[in-house]
Amino acid sequence: MVYAVKLGNNFERSDFAMKIKVPFMVIAMLVIIGVVSVWSDDKTAPMSASGLTDEERSAHDGEILAEEVASGSVVSIEVDYSNDAIIVRLRVPSSKQYVAETAKDLEASVKAALKERKGDLTLEKDSYFIYIYGSDKRLINY
C-alpha cells in the first residue's frame, strides 16, 4: 500500500514506500551487475605460464594445437618461445606431391586454433612464425 501526502500540486511518496524501494533497487542492480559479469567473462586471456618451464609450456601448447589441427599427417607441434615460432612436423617428406597445399591448410588451421583456444594456451604474443617441416627434416615452402 502506498501512502501519498499532497504538497501543493505534487504528490510525494511516504517514507515507508521509499524505505522499501531503495533496498529493492540495490538488490536489482547487484543482480544485473552479476549477470553482466558472468556473460562478459573474458575467456581469451592466456593461461598463466608461471611455474612452468619452456619445455612444459611447449608440450602443453603443442598438445592443444595438435587437438585443434587434428591432421593424420602431423607428427608433432612444438612452440619455440625464444624465436616466437611454432614448428609443425609432418609424416610425409617435403618432396611429396601436394605437400605444399597440405602445409598451407595446416598453417590456416594453426592460426585459427591460436585465435579460438587463446585462453587455453600459454602463448604471450599475438603472432608467431609457423614453420612446417617434412619427415626429411626440410622446411616446406608454400
Q: What is the DSSP letter of 140?
A: P
Q: Which residue has the higher pLDDT, 141 or 46?
A: 141
Asked if pLDDT for residue 98 goes beyond 70, the answer is yes
Residue 76's CB: how many other CB atoms inside 10 A? 14
Q: What fold, for 54-133? A: GMP Synthetase; Chain A, domain 3 (3.30.300)
Asked if pLDDT for residue 18 goes beyond 70, the answer is no
Whether this prediction's pTM lies above 0.85 is answered by no
C-alpha cell at 34: 552479476
C-alpha cell at 61: 601448447
The C-alpha atoms of residue 19 and residue 62 are separated, in whole angstroms, by 59
List Cβ neighbours of 56 (8 Å cut-off, separation of 6 or more).
none
Hey, where are the domains in the chain?
Answer: 4-39, 54-133
| pLDDT confidence tier of residue 122, bands split at 50, 70 and 90 | confident
The C-alpha atoms of residue 5 and residue 7 are separated, in whole angstroms, by 6
| pLDDT confidence tier of residue 137, bands split at 50, 70 and 90 | very high
